[in-house]
Amino acid sequence: MWRVSIRKIAVPAILLTIVGGLIFAGCASPVLVATCSKKLVASQSAPIPNNALTEISGIAASRLNPGLLWVHNDSGDTARIFGLDAQGITHATYRLEAASAIDWEDIAVGRGPVASMTYIYAGDIGDNNSLRSEIVIYRVAEPVVDLAGSVSGSLSGVDAIRLRYPDGAHNAEALLVDPVTGDIVVITKSMSGGAQKAYSVPGSTTPGVLTTMEYLATITTSPSALGAITGADISPNGLQLALRTYGGVAVSARLDVGIPLSTFLGGGASIINCAAPSPSEVQGEAIGFAATGRGFVTVSEGVGAVLHSFTSP
């Protein structure tokens, strides 16, 4: 299984050298992808000035609006999303019509019902006491946002993808959408780390109908609270996977998009485990790849949090 390297480092705004060598499994000439390169440039924004963003739990780069990042709060907020630029300035605030927010934990951007469009997926998947009979992922078409101004409003046409696990309730904080297949993946969270499971449904799952997810893979992290999985993302080209834990960041790459997602998540032949820098954050839970795939961004919960960006030069 893929073991996440747990470590925390301070992140100055300089060129970082990724420590450790790449681990090549079952391949002679691996493909070098951006986040697996030797160096990433680290930078951070000023504190996010929007006082409504008290507990950012998920982050995802817009595909439709270059430079825009979609974020949302943890439990306790309404069903809304915010669009920020790289400096943490809010340019959009949207309420999702006909949606509720029990415990939103992660957000993703990816393909959906209409091939020419991109969609936002908001995961109401948190369940600290493992009591929920179902979870919901809300899907809505990405709106166009002018980064020269700001907009507030609501988004209609929201799909409610109702899901349950095949083996009882779980807490989860990580959501991703495979750009290759369109499959929607939820990764469970264990506060003791160790084995955590991934479940999936096809992107074509009928909204509004309670659907049972399928077990996909087991992801094994360090057996402690630092190994609890709090966020995940997959790069737009489908080649890179990032996991966020309380202890750090882990990135892996598959050599070909034809390699099944179950193998990608669970580890196996032709999967590269990359060393990746991890920001020092009070309670960092969110991670998202850049829209270019050449790096990633993280953010912590709390008022005045900063965006930590790591990009390939």
231-243 average pLDDT score: 95
- At 267, the pLDDT band (50, 70, 90 cuts) reads confident
Question: What pLDDT shows up at residue 215?
Answer: 98
33 or 70, greater pLDDT: 70
Distant-in-sequence, close-in-space partners of 57: CB < 8 Å, separation ≥ 6: 72, 73, 74, 104, 105, 106, 173, 231, 285, 286, 301
The Cα–Cα gap between 180 and 292 comes to 16
207, 263, 196, 39: CA torsion to nearest 10: -100
Strand arrangement of the beta sheet that strand 284-289 belongs to: 15-17, 39-44, 307-311, 295-300, 284-289
Specify the pairing of strand 39-44 against strand 23-24: unpaired
Task: Work out the burial of residue 75: count CB atoms within 10 Å of its CB; fewer than 13 is exposed, 13-18 middle, 19 or more buried.
Answer: middle
- At 247, the pLDDT band (50, 70, 90 cuts) reads confident
Helix, strand, coil: what percent of the chain each, to 5? 5, 40, 55
274-281 average pLDDT score: 76
pLDDT beyond 50 at 297: yes
Q: pLDDT (tens digit, 9 = 90+) per residue, 207-226? A: 999 999 999 999 999 999 99
pLDDT beyond 80 at 42: yes
What pTM was computed for the model? 0.89
Please name every residue paired with 271 in a beta bridge, in sequence order, or none if there are none: 254
Share of the chain above pLDDT 70, in %: 87
* Residue with tokens 């900063």, as numbered in its chain: 306
* Length in residues, the chain: 313
Q: What are phi and psi of 222, to 5 degrees?
A: -60, 135
CATH architecture of 15-311: 6 Propeller (2.120)
Specify the pairing of strand 159-164 against strand 211-212: parallel
Domain ranges of the chain: 15-311
Question: 313 vs 14, 41, 209, 239, 294, CA distance in Å?
Answer: 12, 7, 45, 19, 8
Question: What pLDDT shows up at residue 313?
Answer: 74
- At 28, the pLDDT band (50, 70, 90 cuts) reads very low
Q: pLDDT (tens digit, 9 = 90+) per residue, 61-119? A: 999 999 999 999 999 999 999 999 999 999 999 999 999 999 999 999 999 999 999 99
Q: Among residues 311, 281, 271, which one has the least CA distance to residue 295? A: 311
Q: CA triplet 215, 220, 225: central angle to 5 degrees?
A: 115
Radius of gyration of the chain (CA): 18
Specify the pairing of strand 284-289 against strand 56-61: unpaired
Q: How far is CA 257 from the centre of its chain?
A: 19
Q: pLDDT (tens digit, 9 = 90+) per residue, 1-26? A: 333 333 332 322 222 222 222 222 22
The Cα–Cα gap between 159 and 96 comes to 10
Residue 142, both tokens: 């990405």
Contact 52, 65 (CB under 8 A): no
Contact 39, 17 (CB under 8 A): yes
